[in-house]
Amino acid sequence: MNREWYKDTAFYQIWPRSFKDGNGDGIGDLWGVYEKLEYIRSLGVGGIWFSPLYVSPNADFGYDISDYCAINPEYGDLEIFDKVLQKAHALGLKVVMDLVINHTSIEHEWFQKSRRGIEPYTDYYIWRAAKPGGGKPNNWQGIFESECWRWDDVAGKYYLHLFSSGQPDLNMDNPLVRAEVERIMRFWLDRGVDGFREDVITFISKTEGLPDDGFVIGLRGMKFYESGPRIHEYLQQYRRILEQYPDRFVVGEAPMMTPRKALEFVAGDKRDLDMMFHFQHMEADCFLIEYLRMPFNLRKLKRAFSNWQKALSGKGWNALYLENHDHPRIISRYGSEKYRVQSGKMLACALLFQQGTPFLYQGQEIGMTNIALPKIEDYADCVAQDVYKRCKRMHLPDKAAMALIRPATRDSSRTPVQWSAEANGGFTKGKPWFYVNQNYPEINVAAAEADPDSLLHFYRKLLRFRAGNDVIRNGSYHEYEKHSGRLYVYTREYNGQGILVVCSFTEKPAEFRLPKRLQGKAMTLEFSNYPVTDGPEFTARPYEARVYTYETRKRAKK
Ligand code: GLC
């Protein structure tokens, strides 16, 4: 059995609500997924990660779960889930589920019983009395809302919610809660799923006493739960469940993670996680979160890429991504909508020759872009709504509030996938639950299929090249032109073979000269996003990317 199959494959992430509507109600669902499994397979990926499919009141679109062992009726039922699973497996696709255990929905039965003092649920959540005089239990800040404590009249206490008030944090220190998590994991593993993506998993252990925080840059309170005191103990407990099933795997989401700390989670045989989603490379145009915007800074991006490549090399394994349901579209951020296809291909090259397991997000493969809607009511994400409220509290005019929200909101990655030039981008025959990006007549899967030069076909070629390529899987990583604000250049080398990747992150011309040690070598061009007649030294055109292969050893004289 190949216990590390995940090192030789790539994943495709489905955010089910916007993937494909199969029953005409305007909401993406598992019938839609069933129809599109061959398409997913055709990309050259070997697995799917499903964002939550479970029953949820949708305060945070599935990340607030009210029943972990049933499918949201909007998306289908266990019967169609099993069919999807079976067909995916038959096509050679692994299936990974989202495991959201830092919090539940307030509508979960556990919470409903907990707030009423019904045993054994009373201690399932983090309840605290008001401070004398009625104050909040501590001074922590919320991640989604400014407050992270909500008063509950039924319980007569506050509950902790790091995310929205509809997402009360579970008390992971309670062994009964952890037994529930084990039960949920077994439920899905017994059904045949191949692993989990564990949501904000590094936040599940909170420091005893939930102490007040001092002055911090960032969020007050976070240091008391980010990689908290019992995190490894809990992750090991869940890992042991996974180990009882052959070939299973787990990727954890880890906001605020640094490469050095990551090794405590992903290195060695007894690792907690096989890999993690960190955020450092997603902060090149903002300060910590997309709402605190800054000009795009290529050096910051390169630093994040290189630090993670180097730190984990030979010790752990990277999860590679540029898009998911939590970030605006990458072309609109690090690339250029004007040079949409070129910059999309360039970004693919920047990422896909790195070591790790790539995760592609629905729509990324056709180069979908951000939306810009007039009013706050047009947006659906709870974070956008909360930011708007905060702006209003600060008496910011509407125009300024919307200017802040538009480029940053997660809604941009949550518009329906554009399948064709038909009405609603072919996503639904009904009324789509959310705005369809009006560029769908131009940007859609059918058009990309028909164009041999499309981003879609480019992704396919890169993924095919990657599969089984030992240089990408095992090679060393070396960055060049570190100080360049225009070019990202790196090599990978293994066993006599080398790959050189040159990516321009600008519209402006960028001069590329071969690093000394590569000069005079025979360089074979493998990929480019423009017609090429020169090289390997060249002046890069807007967002140009080139990938060359070479031999690292000197050729023997003939
Ligand atoms: C993770 C999810 C995000 C969700 C949050 C709270 O960051 O990816 O979508 O809102 O956790 O569950």
pLDDT digits (tens, 9 = 90+) for 232-286: 999 999 999 999 999 999 999 999 999 999 999 999 988 999 999 999 999 999 9
Picking from 244, 245, 264, the residue whose alpha carbon sits closest to that of residue 254 is 264
Is the distance from the beta carbon of residue 63 to the nearest atom of ligand 1 less than 6 Å? yes
Active-site residue list: 199, 253
Picking from 46, 18, 87, 37, the residue whose alpha carbon sits closest to that of residue 359 is 46
Atom of ligand 1 nearest to the CA of 164: 6
How far does the centroid of ligand 1 lie from the alpha carbon of residue 113, in Å?
24
Is the distance from the beta carbon of residue 381 to the nearest atom of ligand 1 less than 6 Å? no
How far does the centroid of ligand 1 lie from the alpha carbon of residue 234, in Å?
20
How far does the centroid of ligand 1 lie from the alpha carbon of residue 527, in Å?
35
pLDDT confidence tier of residue 1, bands split at 50, 70 and 90: very low
Write down the number of H helices and E strands in the chain. Answer: 14, 22
pLDDT of residue 259: 97
Cα of 346 vs its chain's centroid, Å: 19
Is the distance from the beta carbon of residue 60 to the nearest atom of ligand 1 less than 6 Å? yes
φ, ψ of residue 306 in degrees (nearest 5): -70, -40
8 A C-beta contact, residue 240 and residue 156: no
How far does the centroid of ligand 1 lie from the alpha carbon of residue 260, in Å?
23
pLDDT digits (tens, 9 = 90+) for 369-398: 999 999 999 999 999 999 999 999 999 999
Separation of alpha carbons 146 and 516, rounded Å:
52
Q: Tell me the one-letter amino acid at 31.
A: W
Picking from 527, 528, 526, 554, the residue whose alpha carbon sits closest to that of residue 541 is 528
Ligand 1 atom 5: residue of nearest CA: 63
Ligand 1 atom 7: residue of nearest CA: 200
Picking from 463, 409, 373, the residue whose alpha carbon sits closest to that of residue 290 is 409
What does the radius of gyration of the chain's CA atoms come to, in whole angstroms?
24
Separation of alpha carbons 276 and 96, rounded Å:
14
Show Cβ contacts of residue 410 under 8 Å, excluding neighbours closer than 6 positions.
Answer: 325, 326, 327, 328, 381, 383, 384
Is the distance from the beta carbon of residue 162 to the nearest atom of ligand 1 less than 6 Å? no
Q: Which residues sit opposite 361 in a β-bridge?
A: 13
pLDDT of residue 466: 97
Is the distance from the beta carbon of residue 100 to the nearest atom of ligand 1 less than 6 Å? yes
Atom of ligand 1 nearest to the CA of 255: 7
φ, ψ of residue 510 in degrees (nearest 5): -135, 125
DSSP letter assigned to residue 130: P
Is the distance from the beta carbon of residue 200 to the nearest atom of ligand 1 less than 6 Å? yes
The per-residue pLDDT of the chain, averaged, comes to 97
Cα of 76 vs its chain's centroid, Å: 24
How far does the centroid of ligand 1 lie from the alpha carbon of residue 278, in Å?
13
pLDDT digits (tens, 9 = 90+) for 11-59: 999 999 999 999 999 999 999 999 999 999 999 999 999 999 999 999 9
Instruction: Provide the angle, in degrees to the nearest 10, between the axes of the packed helices 231-243 and 175-191.
Output: 30
pLDDT digits (tens, 9 = 90+) for 275-319: 999 999 999 999 988 999 999 999 999 999 999 999 999 999 999
Ligand 1 atom 12: residue of nearest CA: 63
State the average pLDDT over residues 117-145: 96
pLDDT confidence tier of residue 555, bands split at 50, 70 and 90: low
Atom of ligand 1 nearest to the CA of 410: 9
pLDDT digits (tens, 9 = 90+) for 143-177: 999 999 999 999 999 999 999 999 999 999 999 99
How far does the centroid of ligand 1 lie from the alpha carbon of residue 199, in Å?
6
pLDDT digits (tens, 9 = 90+) for 74-96: 999 999 999 999 999 999 999 99
Atom of ligand 1 nearest to the CA of 100: 12
pLDDT tops 50 at residue 340: yes
pLDDT of residue 2: 58
Helix (H, G, I), strand (E, B) or coil at 165: coil
How far does the centroid of ligand 1 lie from the alpha carbon of residue 303, in Å?
25
Q: Which residues sit opposite 170 in a β-bridge?
A: 125
pLDDT confidence tier of residue 478, bands split at 50, 70 and 90: very high
How far does the centroid of ligand 1 lie from the alpha carbon of residue 196, in Å?
14
- B/e letters for 341-356, b = 16+ CB within 10 Å, e = fewer, are bbbbbbbbbbbbbbbb
Show Cβ contacts of residue 67 under 8 Å, excluding neighbours closer than 6 positions.
Answer: 54, 55, 108, 109
8 A C-beta contact, residue 84 and residue 124: no
Atom of ligand 1 nearest to the CA of 326: 9
What is the DSSP track for 38-101? HHHHHTT--EEEEPP-EE---TTTTSS-SEEEEE-TTT--HHHHHHHHHHHHHTT-EEEEEE--
Is the distance from the beta carbon of residue 98 to the nearest atom of ligand 1 less than 6 Å? no
Ligand 1 atom 4: residue of nearest CA: 63
Is the distance from the beta carbon of residue 323 to the nearest atom of ligand 1 less than 6 Å? no
Atom of ligand 1 nearest to the CA of 63: 12
φ, ψ of residue 300 in degrees (nearest 5): -65, -40
State the average pLDDT over residues 460-484: 97
Percentage of the chain exceeding pLDDT 70: 99
Three state DSSP letters for 189-256: HHHCCCEEEECCHHHCCCCCCCCCCCCCCCCCCHHHCCCCCCHHHHHHHHHHHHHCCCCCEEEEECCC
Q: Rounded to 5 degrees, what angle do the CA atoms 380, 292, 484 make? A: 120
State the average pLDDT over residues 53-66: 98
pLDDT tops 80 at residue 463: yes
State the average pLDDT over residues 178-203: 98
pLDDT digits (tens, 9 = 90+) for 403-440: 999 999 999 999 999 999 999 999 999 999 999 999 99
Is the distance from the beta carbon of residue 199 to the nearest atom of ligand 1 less than 6 Å? yes
8 A C-beta contact, residue 178 and residue 251: no
